[in-house]
Amino acid sequence: MSDIAPFIAVLESAQKKESKITEDVQQAAEGIDIDALKAAYEKVAEQGEFESVDAAEKDVLNKAFEFAAKAVMLLKTSPGLLEKKDLYIYFKVSKGEAMEKPGMMDFQKKQLFGAWEKVKDYNPSKANQLYIAHVNNLIAKYGTRE
């Protein structure tokens, strides 16, 4: 069983509209059923990269992904470049966005492109789950602003 307790704690704080949580993060948290999220997250975590989920699971994972994309801005410390790389590639796959092949001398973008190519065909729900897991790890590592 995957532990996303730090992520769930931030989600619950946002749903309670605690003052340390910005309004846009609070709005993103609205309507997310935490029990349904945990169940969908677990199911997708156990699945392969290309398996699909039902519409309800897809919806709750997508809402949680949108929340995670905003909640990552609450971190006390900015993640390092390698941590940001994972956020970026899972974000791209979740949104169904392609990356443009970088120029020969653009080494940083070449690294991002190579990482994206490895996961570009993942099911968007799997990318959502991986993004949430990564944000969860960042929250556990850095904490959120008070």
The H or E element spanning position 3 is none
| Token reading at 106 | 């653009």
Low-confidence stretches of the chain (pLDDT beneath 70): 1-2, 146
The candidate with the shortest Cα–Cα distance to 39, out of 64, 20, 14, is: 64
What pLDDT is attached to residue 88?
A: 94
How many CA atoms, within 13 angstroms, populate the side-chain half-sphere of residue 65? 24
pTM of the model: 0.92
The structure tokens 């619950």 sit at 12
pLDDT, residue 117, reads 93
**What does the longest C-alpha to C-alpha distance in the chain come to?**
49
E strands, 5-144, where? Answer: none
Predicted local confidence at residue 20, as pLDDT = 84
